[in-house]
Amino acid sequence: MENITSNFSMECGTYEQLSYWSNNFDDFAASLILLYNVMIVNNWQAFMEAYSRYTSDWAKVYFVCWWLTSSVMWVNLFVALILENFIYRWDRSHSCSVTDVERIRYETSLQLIFKEQIQEPTEEELTCQLHQHPHLHLH
């Protein structure tokens, strides 16, 4: 038996060459798998080119919109949700205890009590002290 496909050549990386024939919109389950592949697989352009070649150019619009919506928007929202949950739990586990809050409140009230007796330095005094500092070189 002679192989009739031996003379047929396909461009590398195309829908046909990669044998993506099972990825189609023939039924609901196959459609979900195809849309999942477009969302996850790196070679989603092969699907887009094949469907635009066999149907219309509106397929390109559909696939680009699906990719932007699924990959860019929803995956980023999912990652943001995970990070937000992690940061929330981190903050709760490293938050101040009641005694820390009371100590801060006590120190603040002591500052308020002695505020009138405390004399703040002038800007010239601060500048003079900064220029005299051995590790700071101000111009």
Domain ranges of the chain: 11-139
Q: Is the pLDDT of residue 58 over 90?
A: yes
pLDDT mean over 125-138: 87
Burial of 114 (0-12, 13-18, 19+ CB in 10 A): exposed
Supply the pLDDT for residue 2. Answer: 56
CB count within 10 Å of CB 52 equals 16
Distance CA 69, CA 76 (A): 10
* 8 A C-beta contact, residue 49 and residue 15: yes
Task: Please state, for a pLDDT cut of 90, what percent of the chain lies above it.
Answer: 16
Q: Which span out of 12-21, 37-46, 107-116, 118-127 was modeled with the highest average pLDDT? A: 118-127
Comparing 42 with 45, the larger pLDDT belongs to: 45
Supply the pLDDT for residue 101. Answer: 64
Q: Is the pLDDT of residue 124 over 90?
A: yes
